């Protein structure tokens, strides 16, 4: 459910940036702006954190608090100050073509990640089925051995 909401959110963001236009005066990224690869990784982590914070059963304030903690942890992980991130984000908002390309890659990565996760879940389910079947058959064999009357021949 969360993955579907996240896909629609990302699609909407991409659509909105497409509507903003593609007119950019300069495509050069200044030195004080985070590089595209790093910014993309942070944005992707932010969107995943946002999805995690939206778990059901939590009130609005708890969700907001969770999201802020996750955002802080992400920036700390990348060793980026909030101001640096927001200044970079503003730059990319002013350059929608670059931001649109970053979000296209984010959506692609999330779709690939979702596919891999689904394959891993399927493999895990198959292994669990085999293990359960094996345990059931082992239990039957061992029970059959236990329930067999043992008769020792008399000399």
Asked if residue 102 belongs to a domain, the reply is: yes
What's the DSSP call for residue 150? P
Query: In this predicted model, what pLDDT tens digit does every residue of 83-131 receive, in sequence order?
Result: 999 999 999 999 999 999 999 999 999 888 878 777 777 777 777 777 6
Residue written as tokens 């939206």? 54
> Which stretches within 21-95 are classed as H helix?
36-53, 60-77, 82-94
Asked if residue 59 belongs to a domain, the reply is: yes
What's the DSSP call for residue 22? -
Which residue in 36, 33, 38, 5 sits closest to 110, CA to CA?
5
pLDDT for the residue 111: 87
Which residue in 85, 67, 66 sits closest to 75, CA to CA?
85
Residue written as tokens 């640096």? 84
Q: Are 107 and 14 in contact (CB under 8 A)?
A: yes
Asked if residue 154 belongs to a domain, the reply is: no
* Band of residue 24 on the pLDDT scale cut at 50, 70, 90: very low
Q: How far apart are CA 127 and CA 140, in angstroms?
A: 20
Asked if residue 11 belongs to a domain, the reply is: yes
Asked if residue 16 belongs to a domain, the reply is: yes
What region, left, alpha or beta, does residue 111 occupy, with left being phi > 0 and alpha being psi -120 to 50 degrees? alpha
pLDDT for the residue 8: 57
* DSSP three-state, residue 119: helix
Query: In this predicted model, what pLDDT tens digit does every residue of 33-91 receive, in sequence order?
Result: 999 999 999 999 998 888 888 878 878 888 888 889 999 999 999 999 999 999 999 99
Asked if residue 22 belongs to a domain, the reply is: yes
pLDDT for the residue 95: 95
Asked if residue 34 belongs to a domain, the reply is: yes
pLDDT for the residue 22: 45
Domain around 39: 2-147
Q: Are 53 and 70 in contact (CB under 8 A)?
A: yes
pLDDT for the residue 116: 76
Asked if residue 46 belongs to a domain, the reply is: yes
Q: How far apart are CA 60 and CA 24, in angstroms?
A: 38
Give the total number of structural domains in the chain. 1
Q: How far apart are CA 25 and CA 50, in angstroms?
A: 32
């Amino acid at each position: 459910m969360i993955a579907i909401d996240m896909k629609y959110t990302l699609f909407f963001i991409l659509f909105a940036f497409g509507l903003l236009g593609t007119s950019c005066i300069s495509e050069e990224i200044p030195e004080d702006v985070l590089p595209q690869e790093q910014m993309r990784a942070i944005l992707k982590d932010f969107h995943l954190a946002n999805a995690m914070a939206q778990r059901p059963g939590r009130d609005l304030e708890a969700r907001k608090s969770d999201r802020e903690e996750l955002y802080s942890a992400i920036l700390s992980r990348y060793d980026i100050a909030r101001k640096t991130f927001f200044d970079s984000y503003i730059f990319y908002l002013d350059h929608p073509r670059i931001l649109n390309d970053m979000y296209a890659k984010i959506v692609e990565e999330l779709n690939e990640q979702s596919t891999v996760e689904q394959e891993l879940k399927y493999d895990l389910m198959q292994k669990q089925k085999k293990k359960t079947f094996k345990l059931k058959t082992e239990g039957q064999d061992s029970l059959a051995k236990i329930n067999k009357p043992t008769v020792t021949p008399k000399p």
